[in-house]
Structure 1
Amino acid sequence: MKKDQSLTRRRALLAGAAAVGAAGTAGLMYSGLSDGAPARSAAPAAGPPARQPALKPSTYRLQPVAGYSAPHHAPARVPVRHEPFLRMSGRGNTMVLTFDDGPDPRYTPHILDTLAEYDVRATFFVCGEMADWNRDLLARMSDEGHIVGNHTWSHPLLTKLTRGQIRSEMERTSDVIEDAYGARPQWFRAPYGAWNRAAFQLGSEMGMEPLAWTVDTLDWDTPGTRHIVNAVEDGAAPGVVVLSHDAGGDRSQSVRALREYLPHLLDSGYHMTLPRRRTT
């Protein structure tokens, strides 16, 4: 009963909150995407993490995310894209921070702590098998106003799967997100940036828009904290979408890098915002 009441509360907040994001943001721009990253595992090398105890309700509460339809309703119809969105359009020095492959109880809480410290929201593209083991972290993301997107169940190369397999990967993940986060996702990201026609079509059928990235920190390759910081700060520009990771390996460099570059970006006049759908 307590869990049901908590989910009902989160869902009501998500459905009824005011719109968020950068002022004047009209939507997103997209163009072609190249992908040179080698395959990597989405789950920690040590095996599935032990289930974590439920977190207490966060005392650092940000404004809930707006724009999600009520749970269990049919997803809103979205266009079938041929390319993913790569960057945000609009006025002002706005940037989008995204984190893939989690949630991981070793690293995701530290990232959430840093975001809360600076009153910043981000987008987390979660893998279903990780989310299923760490539902408490998705509940925290909901409470603190972050967006949770679909990154498939097991982080496969979609171009090697059948249409039915892709659907299963995406639907199972959306189900876990809805149950733990309080609403079905509106955004999805293909593992490795490997998109195909079936992924775009199925994402559209499930009410999700495809979001890629502009700046790749290469943190999946553990290049060093300084390299990650430089990649973000050198790539900072109005409208960019930054790709980082909070799982899939040792992400301690990503945790330390965020602590360093986030205050620098804010001091430089950048505003971290959330992706928003086009209204036309």
Structure 2
Amino acid sequence: MLSDHQITSRRLLLVAAGMSLLGTAAGCRAPWSSEEVAAEAGVDETALPVMPAGSGGAPGAAAAASAPAAPSAVASPSAAASASPPATAAPGVVPVRKALTEAETKPVYELDAARKVVALTIDDGPDPRHTPTVLALLQQYGIRATFFLIGENATEHPALVREISDHGHHIANHTWTHPDLRSLSASKVRDELVRTSDLLHTTTGRQPTWFRAPGGDWSTESLKVAADLGMRNMAWSVDPRDWSRPGTSAIIDTVLKDVRPGSIVLNHDGGGDRSQTLAALKAYLPVLVDSGYFFTAPPN
């Protein structure tokens, strides 16, 4: 029986192994490192278990060699979340925003395909009907995801925003009202992004470092504002169009057909009836885990 510390350490090793970085295909430097992951969770990286020789860095092999039989070969993210900072930012604290290189301002569509890693992204929440079920599924399989939250929804459900953060997931900016940014003036685009980042920072104590334009429709101004706020832009490479409710089987089939090492998968937990999405997640997540995929997200 593994202790809590061993489980946390093992999960961190799996996450660190998957830090093959968003943006590698575009020539970008890794946006997060194994040292950042270990430091965030308060774990001494030198104490992490060593990957078995000949595993090629694939965490699936390490898990099979030393972890209990799963579907969840990786541990729940809740343990690492216990080291999170306070849930709300101190009044008057100005967030530190990273200066981005020109390459880092470009939308990222996939991860490094050299590793069998997937980034699961969840858009349009939080939604009290569906987000708790998504969180329970991710915890069941030890998956850490990125939630792109809409400001209007976040301000109505701050406790749910904090719950997502407390589970160790990455919280990112998806605008305030989910508009088509290409049709907005520069001042309105800035308002959409700044209001959302400020709210998420105030609610969770963490400054968003990633942004996704609604519909993937970036504008010149939104790219500029995101860079000003220290946010990189995350697109996707696998889109089952679950928002259109094409049927549970269609969502499952698209994900399993299109996913490959380095994929960024798009799903939704808000914006309407997401029962098909939930049913699809329940079906395809264990298939991906059992197929040797592991999941990554930037540190909070």
The TM-score range, normalised by the shorter chain, is 0.7 to 0.9
Contact 2:116/2:262 (<8 A) preserved? yes
**Aligned twin of 1:190:** 213
**CA deviation digits over 1:103-147, x for unaligned, max 9?**
000001000000001111100000000011111111111111100
Which among 178, 194, 207 is matched to residue 230 of structure 2? Answer: 207
The counterpart of 1:61, out of the listed 60, 78, 87, is: 78
Q: Which residue of 2 is the match for residue 134 of structure 1?
A: 157
| CA–CA separation in structure 2 for the residues paired with 1:229 and 1:113 | 19
Match in the other structure for 1:78: 100
Question: In the alignment, which residue of structure 2 is the partner of 1:174?
Answer: 197
Taking the aligned partners of 2:84 and 2:14, their CA distance within structure 1 comes to 7
Q: Once structures 1 and 2 are overlaid, which stretch shifts more, 90-99 or 251-260? A: 90-99
Aligned letter for 1:78? L
1:65 Cα shift?
Answer: 10
Post-superposition offset of 1:89: 1.2
Letter in 2 for 1:73: P
Please give the TM-score of this superposition, normalised by the length of structure 1: 0.76
Confirm or deny that 1:28 pairs with 2:17. Answer: no
Q: Distance in 1 between matches of 2:14 and 2:283?
A: 29
Bigger RCO of structures 1 and 2 (CA < 8 A, at least 6 apart): 1
* Structure with more strand by fraction: 1
State the one-letter code of the partner of 1:95: V
Cα gap change, 1:165/1:65 in structure 2, threshold over 3 Å: closer, same or farther? farther
Q: Given that residues 26 and 90 in structure 1 are in contact (C-alpha distance below 8 angstroms), is that contact kept between their aligned partners in structure 2?
A: no
CA drift of 1:26 comes to 4.1
Distance change (3 Å), C-alpha of 1:20 and 1:177: farther
Q: CA shift at 1:78, angstroms? A: 1.1
Deviating 4+ runs (over 6 angstroms): 65-68
**Segment drifting more, 235-244 vs 87-96:** 87-96
Going from structure 1 to structure 2, the CA distance change for 1:100 and 1:26 (only over 3 Å counts) comes to closer
**Conserved in 2, the CA contact under 8 Å of 1:21 and 1:276?**
no
Of structures 1 and 2, the larger Rg is shown by 2
Question: Does 1:267 find its partner at 2:290?
Answer: yes
Aligned to 2:243: 220
Secondary structure in 1 matching 2:250: helix
| Correspondence for 1:48 | none
78-87 or 189-198, which deviates more? 78-87
Give the deviation of 1:62 after TM superposition: 3.8
Unaligned runs of 5+ in 1: 1-16, 32-58
C-alpha root-mean-square deviation of aligned residues, in Å? 2.7
Distance 1:132 1:169 in 2: 13
1:159 aligns with 2:154: no
Question: What secondary structure, in the 3-state scheme, does the structure 2 residue paired with 1:99 have?
Answer: strand
Structure 2: runs of 5 or more not aligned: 1-11, 27-75
Question: Residue 106 of structure 1 aligns with which residue?
Answer: 129
Render the CA deviation track for 1:77-110: whole Å, top value 9, x for unaligned.
1124564100011642100000111000000100
Give the CA deviation at 1:30. 5.6
1:89 aligns with 2:112: yes
Which of residues 280, 284, 294 in structure 2 aligns to 1:257? 280
Q: Is the 8 A contact 1:30 1:83 kept in 2?
A: no
* Cα distance in structure 2, aligned partners of 1:27 and 1:175: 24
Quote the Cα distance in structure 2 between the aligned partners of 1:67 and 1:89: 28
**Aligned residues of 2:123 and 2:266 also touching (Cα < 8 A):** yes
Q: Which amino acid aligns with 2:173?
A: N
Deviation at 1:67, TM superposition (A): 12
Q: Kindly state the Cα deviation for residue 236 of structure 1 after the two structures are TM-superposed.
A: 1.5
Distance 1:62 1:260, change over 3 A: farther
- How big is the shift at 1:231? 1.0
Supply the AA of the counterpart residue of 1:63.
A
Structure having the higher helix fraction is 2
